[in-house]
Amino acid sequence: MVNTKVNLCGVELDNPIIPASGTFGFGYEFARLYDINVLGSLSFKGTTKDPRFGNPTPRIAECESGMLNSVGLQNPGVDKVISEELPKLKACFNKPVMANVSGFSVKDYVYTVEKLDSESQIGWFEINISCPNVHGGGLAFGTSAENAAAVTKAVKKVTKKPVIIKLSPNVTDITEIAKACEAEGADGISLINTLLGMKIDLKTKKPVLANKAGGFSGPAIKPVAVRMIYQVYDAVKIPIVGMGGVATAEDVIELMLAGATAVEVGAANLVEPFACKNIIEDLPRVMEKYKINNLSDIIGGAH
């Protein structure tokens, strides 16, 4: 009998599978399809200080081996997440969840984390630093080691729960940013977020997305994810939550061998709502095929 349990920043998961933020709503929407308690955990929809309507449409475009999105962090704001969304999730999911937090200034991140901190069902914070820094010329927090460190330091001051920093792959050296976050007390690193991409409609001769560019995700980005996870595993001592193009149990094993402790599934949920459930059910078979008894034994096994 194989053991799929892993330990993420002191919290034990039945398995490493976590639906990625932005691809699984607040979780309860999928509970109508299957018992979501089979999941290791889930990262709920990116939450900001204030409600956000999101970007103009169209904001989704299909591509070869993936998709582009420019949703724009649409969410009801932290107060409504606490009063309306989390109680619905609690009614159908009895495990700790990951709170994905976004912001446009350091104060935004601190405010939202502080508000969510007292929610008992939140086991970790996943801090999305791929947002534009409105006080820093609009560049994403995650493209600068200094800015990434500043967000990490500020957030760590207002919560005792594990803080996992979600990094942008749109940088020259991912390890420099990961190390800066670790130095300021990050408990884990989450990567990779989407790659920046664009699609042009040949008939209209204009970009398909209203926002012109968007985040590219799906199977095509998996080799980039594997490479970056591998590099960051060598650079830091804290656990990694890996993601990027994961669609099968084999993909999960590959990201774990590169260095991931847990694995998020993103775009695959939008193609197949049962993707996470299918991966979890297939994990034991794949583990047996590759003679893996304990999943936690293979973390970083490719090094």
The tokens 């197949």 sit on which residue?
272
Q: How far apart are the first and last CA of the chain?
A: 26
Under 8 Å CB-to-CB from 249, ≥6 apart: which residues?
Answer: 279, 282, 283, 285, 286
Cα 73 to Cα 62, 67, 105, 187: the distances in Å are: 19, 17, 15, 24
Catalytic residues: 131
Checking DSSP bridges between strand 97-101 and strand 122-128, what pairing results, if any?
A: parallel
Question: What are the tokens at 193?
Answer: 């977020």
Contact 89, 116 (CB under 8 A): no
Coil/strand/helix, residue 17: strand
Quote the radius of gyration of the chain (alpha carbons, Å): 18
